[in-house]
A and B are shown apart, each in its own frame.
Chain A
Amino acid sequence: MAANAVLPRTTKRRPVSWGNPLTYALALAVAAVSITPVIYVIIGGFRTTPQIVANPAGLPDPWVWDNYARVLSQSNFWRQVFNSAVVSLGTTIGVVVLGVCAAFVLARYTFRGREVLYTFFTLGLLFPAGAAILPLYLMLRDLNLINSYYAVILPQVAFALPLTIVILRPFLTAIPRELEDAAAIDGTGRLGFLWRIMLPLSRPALVTVGILAFVTSWNAFLLPLLVLGDASLHTLPLGVQNFSSQYTSDTAGILAFTSLAMLPALIFFTFAEKQIVGGLQGAVKG
């Protein structure tokens, strides 16, 4: 589906042409609106605060690396990157493992109450995570989980499960029954079938739900804000927010910190974009 202009025409793709000028003009306008503010922030990080105050819309003159160097040499920044990574990876692994197990049962077993169980999970799509945040905090406090990675990971897994199951189940259902029969004839049980055949075959769907869970968790703000009071556990979004409210006069520093915080998500998405769109294709199929 990508416009692979460099590929030889021998592939089955339809030939890709240069569009008309209007198409490019509009596409450029869309791109400009999307990324100009982001580029401004990244370039602003190369200026000094006096430069920015004197002329908010100017270019760096001279370019200074100091802001970025300052943020990168802060142990806080790396600590927050580490915390974000632990929380996001923990959430992703939890969602994928629990989601696959439940979706496998809902897709490949016939039993009384199956549709009830499925509806029960899909109901979660109607429960906004935001609305539950206060009682969630109180419960985590009673469980003595406040100020631990679990306080973020467990609720994030729980709230990501409904969407994960909704995306995974049709995928697992679509895998042909013949494969299951063949596996049974070869003496593989249903669990062996799940492990050796289902998981490898459903990798695209697993990657999609994994990416969605990872990005959501990486960007999460409200839950960490309430349950991670301990600054040494702060994730990157909390770190950016604190930095910007603590050093309000250090505009250049804030811009540099914000740019560096954006970077992982941007890089990650650049590589995963196809997976996300491809995975959603199944979910929005009409």
Chain B
Amino acid sequence: MTSTNPTLDLAGGASAPPAGPRPARRSSARAAETRRKWYEIIGLTTPAVIVYVMFVLVPMGFAFYYSLFRWRGVGPPTDFVGFDNYVLAFQDPIFLDALRNNAIIVFGSLLIQGPIALGVALLLNRNFRGRTVFRLLAFVPYVLAEVTVGIMWKLLLSDAGTVNAMLESLGLGSLVQAWLADLDLVIWTLLAVLTWKYVGFAIILLLAGLSNVPQELNEAAAIDGASWWQTQRHVTLPLLGPTIRIWMFLSMIGSLQVFDVIWVTSVPAVRSLGASATMATYMVDNGFFARLWGYGNAVAVILFAISFVAAVLFQRFLLRRDIEGAITRRAN
């Protein structure tokens, strides 16, 4: 894409095309200009590079280093244990539960949120009075802080909470559950809360994608006698492909590192049994609160490695065609 960018072509005076003898004065002015350009490049990018390297890249490097020690976080790490922490993690049934829960959340989110969001986005993309208001309302859960959502659902879903009370009053007493305390049920309850919270994000992205679909195409299809459904199925959906895949990618990465909603909504006792733990809550529980810093960092590296591999595979097989045009460049 380098060649297509309408940028200043200042690429180093030396490699500039017009060859042949040039007056000396001209070329020294050029050298000064090149130097000035590099000063600007360095001056403008350095602050961003420093902050980014220092707070994003360096910590991940340290995570790997610390993960090789048994270390309580006091003084420098000295008790080198190699990859023992990693072995321990994969032998801990609670960590394996956390892995399973993350898998449930990743696939559950994709399979449940995707169809719902698509339906709602197509609905809210229709032209009708009050559409703006309905859109705003559909985005509300996504805008709320994870913590407020967690506390809200924790109250609603408690044993004597509103959800159970409403089931009772509707004569559905048999459906009353210990939503957040039942060890087999809790992860599905949390999946439902996560779905409620994050489906709005998928809707926002899909609506943005839909507004890029030229209206003329829909009108042409209508003139050709296509019904609304046929238009959506054969015209709109194929054009939404890139947006859907980008959402899938972001949803997957988000699900792998989900922390806030799980942490606030689920009861610590249930979490410590593994029923509602995720990799991230397991990492914070063990690393930060139990002060097993070496072990916690090993879990961090595992979490990172899984996210990284998933992201690379996804990019390789699904995003390859889109990423160029869709994320990195605004095709004008």
Does B148 lie within 8 Å of A258, measured CB to CB?
yes
Known: A19-B128, A34-B137, A127-B56. A108 touches B7 (CB 8 A): yes
B274: CB under 8 A from chain A?
Answer: no
Does A37 lie within 8 Å of B45, measured CB to CB?
no
Q: Which of A59-67, A70-78, A264-272 contacts B (4 or more CB under 8 A)?
A: A264-272
> For A5, A23, A30, which residue has the most chain B Cβ atoms within 10 angstroms?
A30
A33: CB under 8 A from chain B?
Answer: yes
Main secondary structure of the interface of B (DSSP, over half): helix
Q: How far is it, in angstroms, between the C-alpha of A156 and the C-alpha of B287 when the chains are bound?
A: 21
Main secondary structure of the interface of A (DSSP, over half): helix
Task: Identify B8's interface contact among A132, A180, A251, CB under 8 A.
Answer: A180
Does B196 lie within 8 Å of A33, measured CB to CB?
yes
Q: How far is it, in angstroms, between the C-alpha of A258 and the C-alpha of B257 when the chains are bound?
A: 25
Q: Which residue of B lies closest to A117 (CB)?
A: B45
Chain B 165-177 interface 0/1 with A at a Cβ cutoff of 8 Å (1 = within) = 1100100000000
B2: CB under 8 A from chain A?
Answer: yes
- Residues in B whose Cβ lies below 8 Å from that of A249: none
Query: What's the tally of chain B residues with a CB closer than 8 Å to chain A?
Result: 117
Chain A 8-22 interface 0/1 with B at a Cβ cutoff of 8 Å (1 = within) = 000000101111000
Contacts from A to B (Cβ < 8 Å): 1-5, 14, 16-19, 23-24, 26-27, 30-31, 33-35, 37-38, 40-41, 53, 55-57, 94, 98-99, 101-102, 104-112, 114-115, 117-118, 121-122, 124, 126-139, 154-155, 157-159, 161-162, 165-166, 169-171, 173-174, 176-177, 180, 190-191, 215, 218-219, 221-222, 226, 236-238, 240-241, 244, 251, 254-255, 258, 261-262, 265-266, 269-270, 273, 276-278, 280-286
Contacts A111-B12, A255-B155 known; list 9 others, CB within 8 Å. Answer: A2-B132, A3-B128, A31-B134, A104-B44, A128-B256, A134-B287, A155-B55, A222-B280, A277-B211
CB pairs A–B below 8 angstroms (27 shown) = A2-B132, A3-B132, A16-B127, A17-B128, A27-B128, A31-B138, A57-B162, A101-B47, A102-B45, A107-B5, A107-B7, A130-B280, A131-B307, A134-B297, A135-B66, A154-B55, A158-B56, A161-B52, A169-B328, A174-B330, A254-B155, A258-B152, A265-B144, A283-B330, A284-B208, A285-B325, A286-B209
